[in-house]
Amino acid sequence: MKRHVTVNDHSAKIEIEGSRLRYEREDGVVIEGEFSVEGTSVLLNGRSYRVSKGAGKEIWVNGRLLSMEVFDPRDLRPGQGATVNQGRQEIVASMPGKVIRVLVAAGDTVEEGQGLVVVEAMKMQNEMKSPKAGRVAEVRARPDATVGAGEILVVVE
C-alpha cells in the first residue's frame, strides 16, 4: 500500500508491505523498518510511539503536534470517501507538485473518471480525474507550473 503525505506543508510518501515500512521525505530523509500497530500504539524499529488524532489535520505523536494528511494518490481529493458529484466541481491539487500535462481544454465534454490533469509530486505522477460527466468550464492548470495543495486546476460543470 502506498500513500502520499503532507506534513507541516512538506511532502513525503509512505509505503508498507506486510510489517515493513518505508517513509521517504522530499528532502531525501528515509525511514525504513519493521512496524506493528495496536490501537494508538505504534512500534517502529522497536521504538514505541503513541499516536493520537486531534481536530482536522492535527495529529499528536509522543506529545508532538504535527499537521498531517495522508491520501491515496489515485484519489482526486485527500481524506474524503464519497464525493458529491453534482453541480459545479472544482478539481484541486491534493498536494504540492508540478503540472506535467493538461489533458483537456475549456469547453470539452468529459466522462466521469476521465483524466484531466497530470500532476507530479514526490516523483510520482497522479492523474486528476473528473468526478462527474460534464463540460470543462475552466482550465487553470498550466503545464510546468508549480501548484500548492488545494489550488484549483480545472472546473467541471
Partner 1 sequence: MFSKVLVANRGEIAVRVVRALRELGIASVASYSDADRGSLAVRLADEAAYVGPSPSSESYLRIDRVIEAAKRHGAEAIHPGYGFLSENAEFAEACAAAGIVFIGPPAEAIRKLGSKTAARRLAIAAGAPVVPGTEQALSGWEEARSAASVLGYPVLLKASAGGGGKGMRRVDGESDLQSALRDAASEAGRAFGNSEVYIEKLVEEPRHIEIQILGDRHGHLIHLGERECSIQRRHQKVIEECPSPFMASHPELRQRMGQAALKVARAADYTNAGTVEFLVDRDANFYFLEVNTRLQVEHPVTELATGLDLVEWQLKIAAGERLTLEQKDITWRGSAIECRIYAEDPEHDFMPAPGTILHLSEPSGPGIRLDSGIFEGWKVPLEYDPLLAKLAAWGLTRESAIRKLDRALAEYVLTGVRNNIAFFREVLADAEFREGRLSTSFLERFFKRRKKTEADPEIEAAAALVLMLESSSAGLQANGTSRWLNSGREELLR
Q: Which residues bind partner 1 (CB under 8 A)?
A: 1, 3, 5, 7-8, 12, 14, 16, 21, 23, 25, 29, 31, 35, 37, 39-40, 42, 44-45, 47, 49-55, 58-66, 68-72, 79
What backbone phi and psi angles, to 5 degrees, belong to 127? -95, 120
Least distance in angstroms from the C-beta of 118 to partner 1: 23
Distance of alpha carbon 71 from alpha carbon 34, whole angstroms: 22
Cβ closer to partner 1: 61 or 102?
Answer: 61
Q: Are 2 and 13 in contact (CB under 8 A)?
A: yes
Least distance in angstroms from the C-beta of 92 to partner 1: 18
Least distance in angstroms from the C-beta of 23 to partner 1: 4
Alpha carbon 26 to its chain centroid, in Å, reads 14
Q: Which amino acid makes up residue 27?
A: D
